[in-house]
Amino acid sequence: MYRNFADVARACAQRGIGPAQLFLESECRLTERAPDEVRAQLRERWAVMEASARQALEAPQRTAGGLIDGMAHRQWTYAPGQSLCGPFLNRVMARALSCSEVNASMGRICAAPTAGACGVLPAVLVSLQEERGLRWEALEGALLVASGFGAVVMRNATVAGAEGGCQAECGVAAAMAAAAAVQAAGGTLEQMLSAFSHALSCCMGLICDPVAGLVQVPCAQRNASQAVSALLCADLALAGQVFPIPADEVVEAMRRVGRQLPPELRETAQGGIADTETGRAIAARLAQE
């Protein structure tokens, strides 16, 4: 069993296998399930991800408080000729927003690693599948890498906004998605680790400040931005940009930073944009409805 990324790298090197295979075998041991059973569960999770990334694109969802109703549809129908980021990234953002909308309307999502960050990984992988025509084998490997990398974070730090801020939710989701994207692109474990570290370092210290205590603003916007960040960081790694700090040290830094954040900046809605004049007014209005 691997405890950290150094263990993962060592095991893969000693056995001559990739991380996806290592994580599959580990999951089989931990759950006492056969590989085909684990693969079947991955397909089930993928179906949920696909559906949530699509559901709000054409049919805006009704959310509690209505702070993000229709966001995915607006982004999806944004004229391609106007998009500064281009049609591909615009679709990535729309799909991330769709998952957030579905989550906020009590729909079915796949926490990856949390409900508040559920849009990042689906937006990245669904969009890559569409753009590159990825076969299921590539998606399966990417999902295994994302889950395995997330498990390392869970073992050594946290993915809870209430404990570590949004860096632990959307930030870890972006890091998982960046590693998964490298796997889907045929990259090496070293590149996956660099992509992971690039992504997590880019949002180090990101606070959790949900307006009115709802998982909507700025959660939905951060799902969109971190999905784009995941792809950016994957490209950095695939281009040979090696992150100089080992991934295990990046995770430890994130853990320490999370503990240093005051309670006001850890999902309590008592700091950040939740504690602005308008943020407080929105909370007061929703409390009366």
Beta bridge partners of 266: 208
Please state, as a whole number, how many other Cβ atoms lie within 10 Å of the Cβ of residue 166.
30
Taking every pair of C-alpha atoms in the chain, what is the biggest distance, in angstroms? Answer: 61
199 Cβ contact list (under 8 Å, min separation 6) = 171, 174, 175, 177, 178, 226, 229, 230, 233
Q: Work out the percent of the chain whose per-residue pLDDT is above 90.
A: 97
Residue 289 has pLDDT above 90, yes or no: no
Over residues 144-161, mean pLDDT: 98
Mean pLDDT of the chain: 97
Q: Are 138 and 18 within 8 A, CB to CB?
A: no
Which pLDDT band, with edges at 50, 70 and 90, does 80 fall under? confident
Neighbours of 279 (CB within 10 A): 19
How confident is the model over 145-165, as a mean pLDDT?
Answer: 98
The token duo for 54 is: 């699509």
Residue 155's φ and ψ, nearest 5 degrees, are -70, -30
Mean pLDDT value across residues 186-194: 98
Q: Which two tokens stand for residue 232?
A: 């950016």
Is the CB of residue 163 less than 8 Å from the CB of residue 206?
Answer: no
pLDDT for 79 equals 82
**Tokens at 26, concatenated:** 């580990």
